Amino acid sequence: MQNIERFQEAAKKYGVPVNEVFQTVDLWERKNIPQVTLCIHALGRVVSTILTIVPNPLNALIQEAHGPHRSPVKRVQSNTFAQS
């Protein structure tokens, strides 16, 4: 249960809105799994925002291997990912 509380505090510190953070009982007793899922998605959204702001040291290696402004993964029309 302490790990759940630590996760909740960390999510709040990262910037997940309080209304998107689940309650401990939601996960511990499996009472509101959709709220838990919402929180995980919100954390992913916040972290992806942070990662676009903070320079990633791996970007230089990716650009060297795949060229500038390219990623080793590209989107295809079906919203899945395919290796380039």
Q: Is the pTM for the entire model greater than 0.75?
A: no
In which band, very low, low, confident or very high, does the pLDDT at 81 lie, cut at 50, 70 and 90?
A: very low
Position 40 scores a pLDDT of 96
Position 37 scores a pLDDT of 95
Long-range contacts of 20-23 (CB under 8 A, 24+ apart): none
Task: For the chain, give the percent of residues with pLDDT over 90.
Answer: 51
In this model, does residue 73 exceed pLDDT 60? no
CA dihedral 65, 77, 79, 56 (to 10 degrees): 20
In which band, very low, low, confident or very high, does the pLDDT at 48 lie, cut at 50, 70 and 90?
A: confident
Q: How far apart are CA 46 and CA 41, in angstroms?
A: 9
